[in-house]
Amino acid sequence: MKLRFWGVRGSIPSPGPQTVRYGGNTTCLEIRTDDGQLIILDAGTGIFPLSQGLLAEMPVQAHIFNSHSHWDHIQGLPFFIPLFVPGNEVTIYGAHDPITQESIEEILGVQLQYRFFPIRESELNARIHYRSLREGETVDVGEARITPVMMNHPVINFGYRIDCRGKSLFFTGDHEPSYNIYDAGDDEYEMFESLVKKKNEHIIEQIRGVDVLVADSSYTTAEYPAKKGWGHGTFDSCMAMAEQAGVRQLFLTHHEPTRSDDALEAVFREAKGRRRIEVDDIGLAREGLQIEW
């Protein structure tokens, strides 16, 4: 299995001299399975440079798995070049919204309205398919099996586990470990604490033993109290997750857009030194980084 990062920033693209080493594009990961399938995780602005590299491979068959519908995870989708070329086939997967009952096609189709984008979806030349998913509903792409897992974020957010030929990867999308919203003296505290524990344990079990974990580590421990409830993890929470799940490699991503590359490396060193994490390999995701296992 091969992994390449095309976008590693969170919230908003942040190009410039202070982010050139790790990159300024928003979330996009490319997975190539051992049987040659192309799986793309999220369609942030990083999907545009990815699509430029696909020009030499056309016609292509791509499977795009959307973690959630916030702008930084979908804003590159209308610029995915294979959508404009006849002969290509693109399948887009994402969460069905149980509240509005909207499908992933209805959710993502909004940004292809004329008020937001000059080209209608009906004018795109590729064959485009949509598949709405529910938690635990596995998808087979060639020999790969992809399993969506409900994470904790202010909108429905799927993490995805990919298993293929004994190799595995888990991508959290945006995720903040669940916490108790009640004070210890409140009547609801014990009941909610039980729910929080079960939810966090469920997520750990879904990640258990993967070769590679790619996790949202937007904030430092010091920054987190002011951002609590925003739906993002910290360097420390991601390292704890990796240890509890017994993963082999951990890559931290969704870098805070205002954090320079130098500052990013500094807070990473501090967190890693403080925890002394027992994982074979841990690093910061950066655009262009390729992993093969």
What's the pLDDT score for residue 277? 67
Ranges of each domain in the chain:
2-292
What's the pLDDT score for residue 107? 85
Sites in the chain below the pLDDT cut of 50: none
Radius of gyration of the chain (CA): 19
How buried is 160 (Cβ within 10 angstroms: 0-12 exposed, 13-18 middle, 19+ buried)?
A: buried
pLDDT digits (tens, 9 = 90+) for 35-64: 999 999 999 999 999 999 999 999 999 999
What's the pLDDT score for residue 39? 98
Q: Which amino acid is at 187?
A: D
What's the pLDDT score for residue 49? 98
The structure's pTM equals 0.95
Q: Which amino acid is at 203?
A: I
What's the pLDDT score for residue 122? 80
pLDDT digits (tens, 9 = 90+) for 235-277: 999 999 999 999 999 999 999 999 999 999 999 999 988 876 6
Q: CATH for 2-292?
A: 3.60.15.10
What's the pLDDT score for residue 278? 66
Q: Are 242 and 282 in contact (CB under 8 A)?
A: yes
Q: Of 259, 263, 248, 253, nearest to 216 (Cα)?
A: 253
3-class SS at 141? strand
Q: Are 280 and 249 in contact (CB under 8 A)?
A: yes
